[in-house]
């Protein structure tokens, strides 16, 4: 087996074994070109002769014709020496990228062709990616794995990765009537103020997070395009500058919760509206924050569809800053009634989510490994 950088021409072969990877399919077809071009990463393939599979299956050590489960590293080494076949094909893929702060790498997209599994192919790819991180001077490697993906969890745990935090992903459908009923009930209970943060709030937001259990337990991360990054001071400045930080406050000074929103989507899915960090001191406040974000989102959707409704929407926004509302509206270009929430998993969040129509949900574990 040989590990090398992917070539554009590998794509078709790779996609053949990256289609039905999970019950819902796979996403490699949507990211292959992006990953291939990313300057701070490596898109790796493992390649091996297809003949080799037949030989492994028929070997005396493996009378049942199953892929080997032990002595696999020896097998791989032998393959490297003896593989002279011309029919060498990619049998696995993985991607690693140096995060913008250059201190961490993100590992993703490991796929091993079914017929070559349990031969330490993924292990070898992970080793290569960790080496990449060390070469780049990174101090930590991270990855996200579905709670249900035991094979992958065992793989990463065996390589020394530790669980940092558990995250919930919810794709919810906004049904106007149902949402209205939930929201009305919520407003009465929450006479606190929710608004978009500005730079004057910076220190208050930072101080809130330093005392926040959610921030600490989540591993101080937020979600962006299926990677989890550190939510540090600089990033908070950035979110505030882009008006993506929402705060809940009492008496105009004490912060009781923060949410971070994202309008720009990810990959080819640009129409999606996301809440990428959610943190509050109680269930009702968490709900208040969430509904504030959804309110602005749904107003915007309505505006896209029906210009005549603008005045009514502005009237409905009494008590909320008009300029903030206009900003939300002008930035909104989505056509779907779906909203994605990706947040550190708490019982409070689960309780709130149960009230919505959930199209898709999943639980993920964030893993870290010191380099």
Ligand X SMILES: CC(C)(COP(=O)(O)OP(=O)(O)OC[C@H]1O[C@@H](n2cnc3c(N)ncnc32)[C@H](O)[C@@H]1OP(=O)(O)O)[C@@H](O)C(=O)NCCC(=O)NCCS
Positions touching ligand X (CB under 6 A) are: 21, 69, 110-112, 117-123, 145, 149-152, 154-155, 158
How far apart are CB 159 and ligand X at their closest, in Å? 8
**Closer to ligand X at the Cβ: 145 or 196?**
145
How far apart are CB 198 and ligand X at their closest, in Å? 38
**Closer to ligand X at the Cβ: 150 or 199?**
150
Which residue matches tokens 């992006």?
34
**Closer to ligand X at the Cβ: 117 or 242?**
117
Which residue matches tokens 């505006």?
303
Phi, psi of 345 (to 5 degrees): -80, 120
Q: How many residues appear in the chain?
A: 371
Q: Who's near 163: CB < 8 A, 6+ residues apart?
A: 365, 366, 367
**Closer to ligand X at the Cβ: 112 or 317?**
112
**Closer to ligand X at the Cβ: 66 or 101?**
66
What is the distance between the alpha carbons of residues 236 and 231, in angstroms, rounded to a whole number? 7
CA 89, distance to chain mean position in Å, is 30
Q: At 180, list the tokens.
A: 């209205």
Please state whether 134 falls in left (phi above 0), alpha (psi between -120 and 50) or beta: alpha
Q: Who's near 284: CB < 8 A, 6+ residues apart?
A: 186, 189, 190
Burial per residue of 181-198, b for 16 or more beta-carbon CB atoms within 10 angstroms, e otherwise: eebeebeeebebbbbbbe
DSSP, collapsed to helix, strand or coil, labels residue 109 as strand
**Closer to ligand X at the Cβ: 110 or 248?**
110
**Closer to ligand X at the Cβ: 118 or 331?**
118
Q: At 56, list the tokens.
A: 């492994």
How far apart are CB 87 and ligand X at their closest, in Å? 20
Beta carbons of 239 and 260 less than 8 angstroms apart: yes
């Amino acid at each position: 087996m040989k590990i090398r950088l992917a070539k554009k021409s590998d794509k078709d072969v790779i996609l053949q074994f990256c289609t039905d990877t999970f019950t819902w399919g796979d996403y490699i077809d949507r990211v292959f070109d992006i990953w291939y071009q990313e300057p701070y990463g490596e898109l790796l393939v493992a390649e091996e002769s297809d003949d080799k599979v037949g030989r492994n299956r028929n070997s005396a050590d493996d009378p049942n014709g199953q892929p080997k489960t032990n002595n696999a590293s020896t097998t791989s080494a032998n393959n490297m020496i003896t593989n002279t076949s011309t029919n060498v094909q990619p049998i696995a893929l993985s991607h690693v990228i140096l995060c913008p702060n250059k201190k961490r790498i993100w590992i993703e997209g490991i796929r091993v062709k079914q017929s070559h599994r349990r031969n330490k192919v993924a292990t070898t790819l992970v080793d290569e990616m960790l080496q990449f991180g060390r070469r780049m001077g990174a101090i930590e490697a991270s990855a996200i794995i579905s709670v249900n993906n035991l094979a992958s969890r065992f793989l990463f745990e065996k390589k020394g990765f530790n669980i940092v935090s558990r995250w919930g992903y919810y794709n919810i459908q906004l049904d106007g009537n149902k949402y209205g009923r939930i929201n009305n009930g919520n407003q009465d209970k929450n006479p606190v103020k929710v608004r978009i943060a500005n730079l004057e709030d910076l220190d208050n937001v930072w101080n809130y997070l330093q005392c926040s259990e959610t921030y600490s337990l989540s591993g101080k991360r937020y979600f962006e395009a299926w990677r989890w990054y550190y939510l540090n001071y600089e990033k908070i400045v950035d979110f505030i500058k882009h008006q993506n930080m929402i705060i809940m406050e009492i008496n105009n000074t004490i912060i009781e919760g923060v949410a971070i929103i994202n309008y720009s989507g990810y990959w080819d899915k640009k129409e999606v509206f996301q809440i990428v960090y959610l943190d509050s001191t109680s269930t009702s406040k968490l709900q208040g924050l969430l509904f504030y974000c959804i309110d602005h989102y749904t107003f915007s959707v309505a505006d896209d569809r029906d210009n005549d409704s603008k005045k009514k929407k502005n009237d409905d926004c009494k008590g909320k800053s008009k300029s903030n509302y206009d900003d939300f509206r002008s930035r909104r270009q989505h056509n779907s009634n779906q909203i994605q929430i990706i947040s550190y998993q708490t019982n409070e969040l689960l309780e709130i989510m149960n009230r919505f129509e959930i199209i898709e949900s999943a639980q993920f574990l964030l893993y870290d490994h010191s380099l």
